[in-house]
Amino acid sequence: MLQIRRVSKKFDGFEALGEIDLAVDRGEIAGIVGTSGCGKSTLLRIVGGLEAPSSGSVVLDGVAVAGPRPEVGLVFQEPRLMPWLSVRENVEFALARRPRAQRRPLADAALARVGLGAVADALPQALSGGMAQRAAIARALVARPQVLLLDEPFSALDAFTRFGLQDHLLDIWRADQPTMLFVTHDVEEALVLSDRVVVMRAKPGRIHAQYRIDLPRPRRRTEGRLQAWKERILEDLDLAVKGGGADPEFAI
């Protein structure tokens, strides 16, 4: 179980996060939505050990997180592949702790799972945006982390690629059952993927509401209940349609 206990974060006196309490069960998918500046990415970076909280702690199976650790995989908004390494070597990059002989077969298996087996020897610049992000997912998954953190992983992709990768991520989750905590500003994405949607609001960043989404998967984007939740969440974020268009950040 992943526990976020009274975590707060200040940057030079600016309160980015108030006190956040959140527990994510093993194998659960939790999606965090919120407007820009609500601290959702900061929270994810703290859980990943990339930033230290100003107060509070993150505890994974009873052990406090004090820095990046192999049980926690991270996928960023950009693929962040090393441009001088082949796609396979980029995945092997995450296996530095393993004996050299194990790395290649593990990397090839991870690439095959995201459908990139054929481009293992290519350099990252040869990949499309969606393929590069799949390679990044393979790199995050190859060491079989118990927790997968994703920071707006699909926001830079076009809608068709995004839908495809969302399905892909669910396939991976069904096979490995990692705990997943992901940040998005696409409410529909959160609803399609998550067991629970956490709504955050800013000044300071705090959890405003949580919704348990108990619909069976795969979920249809046009499903009525899903649309009702979406309306509620947009209201939570003051983004419901009031005689005009929604905030352009939420182009859904």
Partner 1 sequence: MRFRARLALGGAAGLVLPALLLALWEALSRFGLAPPNLLPAPSAVLRALGGLWLSGELPGHIEVTLLRVLLGFLFGTAAGTLLGALTGYSALWRRLLDPAFQALRSIPSFAWIPLFVLWLGIFEASKLTLIAVGAFFPVYLNTMAGIQQVDRKLVEVARVHGYGGAALVRCVLLPATLPAYVTGLRGGLGLAWMFVVAAEFMGASEGLGFLLIDGQQTGRPANIIAAVLLFAVFGKASDLALAALGRRFVSWQDNFQSAEERKADAADPPRLQEV
- Applying CB under 8 A, which part among 89-97, 188-196, 202-210, 214-222 lies near partner 1? 89-97
Q: Is 234 in the site for partner 1 (CB under 8 A)?
A: no
- Applying CB under 8 A, which part among 55-63, 119-127, 169-177, 207-215 lies near partner 1? 119-127
Total of chain residues touching partner 1, rule CB under 8 A? 19
Q: For residues 125 and 222, which CB has a smaller minimum distance to partner 1 in the complex?
A: 125
Q: For residues 129 and 204, which CB has a smaller minimum distance to partner 1 in the complex?
A: 129
Both structure tokens of 215: 């619909």
**Which residue type sits at 23?**
A
Q: Is 131 in the site for partner 1 (CB under 8 A)?
A: no
Q: Is 84 in the site for partner 1 (CB under 8 A)?
A: yes
- Give the 3-state secondary structure of the chain: CEEEEEEEEEECCEEEEEEEEEEECCCCEEEEEECCCCCHHHHHHHHCCCCCCCEEEEEECCEECCCCCCCEEEECCCCCCCCCCCHHHHHHHHHCCCCHHHHHHHHHHHHHHCCCHHHCCCCHHHCCHHHHHHHHHHHHHCCCCCEEEEECCCCCCCHHHHHHHHHHHHHHHHHHCCEEEEEECCHHHHHHHCCEEEEEECCCEEEEEEEECCCCCCCCCCCHHHHHHHHHHHHHCCCCCCCCCCCHHHCC
Q: Is 74 in the site for partner 1 (CB under 8 A)?
A: yes
Tell me the closest approach of the beta carbon of residue 214 to partner 1, in angstroms.
33
- Cα separation, 120 vs 112, in Å, equals 9
Among 56, 70, 117, 129, binds partner 1 (CB under 8 A): 70
Q: For residues 84 and 160, which CB has a smaller minimum distance to partner 1 in the complex?
A: 84
Q: Is 220 in the site for partner 1 (CB under 8 A)?
A: no
Q: Is 94 in the site for partner 1 (CB under 8 A)?
A: yes
Letters for 12-51 (x = contact with partner 1 by CB under 8 A, - = none) are ------------------------------------x-x-
Tell me the closest approach of the beta carbon of residue 85 to partner 1, in angstroms.
8
The answer for residues whose C-beta is within 8 angstroms of residue 152's C-beta and 6 or more apart is 41, 77, 183, 184, 185
Among 37, 68, 115, 218, binds partner 1 (CB under 8 A): 68
Tell me the closest approach of the beta carbon of residue 211 to partner 1, in angstroms.
30
Q: Is 93 in the site for partner 1 (CB under 8 A)?
A: yes
> What residue ranges bind partner 1 (CB under 8 A)?
48, 50, 68-70, 74, 76, 78, 80, 82-84, 93-94, 96-97, 123, 125-126
